[in-house]
Chain A
């Protein structure tokens, strides 16, 4: 088979933000029919590079060639016209408009009117070609996350994209949906489309892509010509510049139960309600809660954190019955929590970091007296934690929102662990963190486990749960549908449970 000329070529792309070189002399090319993996840690410059390609940033130096022709891309409209389509990590859809309306946006009409008929025909054609079916008249809010992603892909194809960029597309999908996505992407590639697949899940990159470009600190750290036959460890080393050893989880010596839930049910709230959930976490044990996002994990975390009172069932922390379900009560009983969304329920982005770090305990004698804050004590506490956890920031009075995700997560962890919780509940502990920061967080969990803390990790990343947890419970539609010892658990078995395919076990 003759090698076709590249569909798209980026040559010597350099882009600086102030003193920071986000991209430096980056070369990248994609041939028609090729799936290119773009790998790199957070801050390696993947997003900047793709934003240059999609017209959001103008590069300081370098050029972009499409089918050998030099082009200038200064807006997303230019990129679309050049045949570049992008599926962002956070979907660019209007939830209250219909599927068809989301497709027709920005498409010139027919004699001044929206071209509904033309749109429907084009949608049907794309659906047939790649097996991407969608109901054109449903509002986007009625679609599942997987379907919304499908719509984003269809949107790019609808506009005649020859090159499709997908930014961490599998982060939001269940294992089975990932398979569907991959087969659609392979079908598109087979028909001559170029695809750039951005991910940090190395096994997915190895399964899907034909070639990989690895970025580190804004430069190309290396290229992988045969991802399928390259080990994850080798790729991780390219990404980080040094070897990454997964944390070793020693044998478990669990003690008495520190948290029990017995027949917990909730109702009357948005999202999935809990149905008769019972579980126990023992001292010195890490329990994982797996499940496709939206199967009751949020309600579970809210009940355990004391934010939401259940309608039925009982909960104990360290043997004490929880009666009022308030954050203050469960915290007093020895519960620490790291919420799912660092920016909204974790801390206050517009306040100094120090304030956020003492917020849950602001009323305790350590940080206030006679109704007045003790600013010196607050500051001293924050400084101490910043040092202990190597939180990179100018100081404790920095606005919390200015910190990177990894540093925020460290700050939240420091805040909870400083008070030696008996139980720790964590949602999505390493979402959006790079390998180094994730590694740090994992080590802290294992330290706490060794000290006899019971930890619940709610997560969607099955590989992470398998490495970290002693047992893994799977949630489906608000129930615990199975609990596996991690020695017996495999991604396949968990995936099956997550889709509700296997009954109670």
Chain B
């Protein structure tokens, strides 16, 4: 066991936490914006997968990483708009539509990938994002190399957290998002368009989910596989609850999950006894379930979450 604890405080371990946390944090922020406006987006898992695919493909075909990121973000926005069309404009069940979006996006991702790359014995890969040390900051002992010698998309995520908090709590648009998620009728009678605000929030959420997907296929794995997302979208939905719909807490929740995940990876590597590695793989999810059970007791969801808004209803 002591070997495990020694490893915890290694720079490599801290860096791994940050890397694992990045896509989760981005996806969690995306889901949070959507839910704050009153729209649960269960399409997140499929949207991340499709964005991982389109981003990878664009980079693979053009050679430009940032063009790939842009493609992934636009894909996410498009799928967000699709989900909003069903749930906001048409007022359909958010659960059913979300699952529908996930199934559709996943299927589309597999289909397009096969169409473009065919069946290859060695899956195509790209030269993904490389770590970029930030001058001065990366010289800080321990923290510097762990946090400030990372992929560019990690920095994007780090900036996204305070930015999300600022937008949500300090801007008129953020107040509108919170209001349409709490009491859409109040927002409507104050002259705020509930439909437009929800569309915007869900689309912004899709963009962040797109970034998360891009990170997976273009920085973490540098290839697209059908298991590239493997439940991270679902975890993000739990992390939103765990983070009580707050950007800072949500990011903290992502870090905590990443810690447990990094820990189990090390435990696998250290080959503790004869425990099958699958047992370690379960750890982060057991953690999620326990954390949810403890935290969701006091968690108060946005009042209007899951409730479509129709103006003529009184």
Contacts and interface: CB of A to CB of B under 8 A. Distances in A.
Interface of A: 47, 54, 56, 75-77, 80-81, 86, 88, 91-97, 101-102, 104-109, 112-114, 155, 159
A92 B176 contact: no
Contact of A113 (B171, B176, B191): B171
A94 B183 contact: yes
Given A75-B191, A76-B191, A92 B175 contact: no
Contact of A93 (B172, B183, B191, B314): B183
Given A75-B191, A76-B190, A113-B170, A96 B175 contact: no
Interface of B: 170-172, 174-176, 178-179, 182-183, 185-192, 300, 303, 311, 314
A101 B190 contact: no
B179 A76 contact: no
A56 B311 contact: yes
A107 B182 contact: no
Given A96-B303, A113-B171, A77 B182 contact: no
Q: Which 10 A-B pairs have the closest CB atoms?
A: A77-B191, A94-B182, A106-B190, A92-B186, A109-B172, A94-B183, A105-B190, A106-B191, A92-B189, A106-B192
Given A76-B189, A76-B190, A95-B303, A104 B182 contact: no
B186 A114 contact: no
Nearest to B311: A56
A104 B171 contact: no
Given A76-B188, A80-B190, A106-B192, A97 B172 contact: no
Given A47-B314, A104-B175, A159-B190, 16 more contacts: A76-B188, A76-B190, A93-B183, A94-B182, A94-B183, A96-B300, A97-B182, A101-B178, A105-B176, A105-B179, A105-B186, A105-B190, A105-B192, A106-B190, A109-B171, A114-B175
Nearest to A90: B185
Contact of B171 (A54, A77, A114): A114
Contacts of A155: 190
Contacts of A94: 178-179, 182-183, 186-187, 303
Contacts of B172: 104, 106-109, 113-114
B182 A80 contact: no
Highest count of chain B CB atoms <10 Å: which of A104, A108, A159:
A104
Contacts of B183: 92-95
Which one of A76, A94, A107, A108 has the greatest number of beta carbons of chain B within 10 Å? A94
B186 A93 contact: yes
B182 A106 contact: no
A86 B186 CA distance: 11
Nearest to A100: B175
Nearest to B172: A109
Contact of B187 (A86, A105, A108, A114): A105
B191 A80 contact: yes
B189 A88 contact: yes
Nearest to A94: B182
B250 to A, nearest CB: 17
Contact of B182 (A86, A95, A113): A95
11 contacts: A76-B188, A80-B190, A86-B189, A92-B189, A104-B172, A105-B186, A106-B176, A108-B172, A113-B170, A114-B171, A159-B190
A98 to B, nearest CB: 10
Contacts of A112: 171
Contacts of B174: 114
B138 to A, nearest CB: 32
A92 B309 CA distance: 14
A76 B192 CA distance: 9
B178 A92 contact: no
A97 B177 CA distance: 12
Contacts of B192: 105-106
Contacts of A86: 189
Contacts of A56: 311
Nearest to A103: B190
A434 B176 CA distance: 37
A374 to B, nearest CB: 35
